[in-house]
A and B are shown apart, each in its own frame.
Chain A
Amino acid sequence: MLLTERERLREELIALADQFGRQRSSLMPILQEVERRHFRISEYCMQVIADLLDLHPVEVHSVVSFYSFLDESPRGQFVIRLCRTITCEMAGKDHVARQLENDLGITFGQTTPDGKFTLQWANCLGMCDQGPALLVNDQIFTRVTPERVHGILQECRQTFGVHAVAGAKER
Chain B
Amino acid sequence: MTSPTTMGKLTFDAVSPGVGLKAALAQPAAAVLDRIAASGLRGRGGAGFPTSVKWSMAAEADEADKYVVCNADEGEPGTFKDRVILSEFADLVFEGMTIAARVIAARKGIVYLRAEYSYLRRHLESALASRREEGLLGKRIGGKEGFDFDIEIHMGSGSYVCGEETALIESLEGHRGEPRNRPPFPIDTGYLGHPTIVNNVETFAWVVCILEKGAEWFKSHGTVKSTGHKLFSVSGDCSRPGVYEFPMGITVAELLEEVGGQGAKAVQVGGASGQCVPASQSDRTIAYEDVPTGGSIIIFGPKRDMLEVARNFLEFFVDESCGQCTPCREGVPKLLEGVQMLQQGACSMAYLKELCSLGETMRLASKCGLGQSAPNAFVSIARDFQDEILGRTGFGRRNGSDG
Residues of A whose CB lies within 8 Å of any CB of B are 23-29, 31-32, 62-63, 66-70, 81, 84-87, 89-90, 122-131, 135, 138-142
CB of B132 within 8 Å of the partner chain: no
B174/A128 in contact, CB under 8 A: no
Q: List 20 A-B contacts (CB under 8 A).
A: A24-B173, A24-B174, A25-B172, A25-B192, A31-B157, A32-B155, A66-B322, A67-B157, A68-B158, A69-B157, A84-B315, A85-B78, A86-B298, A124-B79, A126-B79, A126-B82, A127-B80, A128-B236, A129-B235, A139-B119
A142→B80 CA distance, assembly (Å): 13
Interface size class of B (residues with CB under 8 A): 35 or more
- The reply to whether B233 and A129 contact each other, CB–CB distance below 8 Å, is yes
- Identify the closest chain A residue to B236 (Cβ): A87
- Chain A neighbourhood of B14, CB < 8 A: none
B12 contacts the other chain (CB 8 A): no
A22 to B: closest C-beta gap in Å? 11
Q: Nearest chain-A residue to B78 (Cβ)?
A: A128
A81, A86, A127, A128 — most chain B CB neighbours (10 Å): A86
Mask of B210-253 contacts with A, CB within 8 angstroms, 1/0 = 00000000000000000000000111110001110000000000
Q: Which residues of B contact A142 (CB under 8 A)?
A: 1-3
Proximity bits, B298-340, A CB within 8 Å = 1, else 0: 1000001000110011011001101000000000000000000
In the bound complex, residues from chain A placing their C-beta under 8 Å from that of B130 are none
Question: Across the interface, do A128 and B77 meet the contact criterion of CB distance under 8 Å?
Answer: yes
| CB contact between A69 and one of B83, B158, B313 (< 8 Å): that residue | B158
Contact between A86 and B320 (Cβ–Cβ < 8 Å)? no
Q: Which of B38-46, B110-118, B137-145, B280-288 contacts A (4 or more CB under 8 A)?
A: B110-118
CB <8 Å contact, A90 and B237: yes
A81, B319: Cα distance in complex, Å: 15
Additional 16 contacts, C-beta under 8 A, given A67-B159, A123-B319, A126-B74 = A26-B174, A62-B176, A63-B175, A63-B176, A66-B322, A70-B158, A85-B316, A86-B312, A87-B78, A90-B403, A123-B75, A124-B75, A128-B241, A128-B298, A129-B243, A142-B3
Q: Give the residues from 50 to 88 in chain B that come closer than 8 angstroms, CB to CB, to chain A.
A: 74-80, 82-83
Contacts of B74 in A (CB 8 A): 126
Q: Complex formed: what's the CA distance from A165 to B80 in Å?
A: 32
- The chain B residue sitting closest to A85, CB to CB, is B77
B300 to chain A: closest residue by CB: A90
Q: Is the CB–CB distance between A141 and B237 below 8 Å? A: no
4 smallest beta-carbon distances between A and B, as pairs:
A27-B174, A67-B157, A69-B158, A129-B241
Complex Cα spacing A69 to B180, Å: 22
- Contact status of A70 and B316, CB under 8 A, knowing A90-B236, A131-B235: no
> How far apart are the CA atoms of A84 and B312 in the complex, in Å?
8
Which of the residues B82, B157, B272 comes within 8 Å of A28, measured between beta carbons?
Answer: B157
- Give chain B nearest CB distance to A74 CB in angstroms: 17
Q: Which residue of B74, B77, B177, B233 has the most chain A CB atoms within 10 A of its CB atom?
A: B77
**A87-B158 contact in complex given A129-B5, A142-B1, C-beta closer than 8 Å:** no
Cβ-closest chain A residue relative to B119: A138
Query: In the bound complex, do residue A138 and residue B118 qualify as a contact, i.e. CB atoms below 8 Å apart?
Result: yes
Most interface-central of B76, B79, B157 (chain A CB within 10 A)? B157
* Interface check B166, CB cutoff 8 A: no
CA distance A62 to B170 in the complex (A): 13
Any chain A CB within 8 A of the CB of B265?
no
- Asked if A86 contacts B159 (CB within 8 A), the reply is no
Interface: B131 (CB within 8 A): no
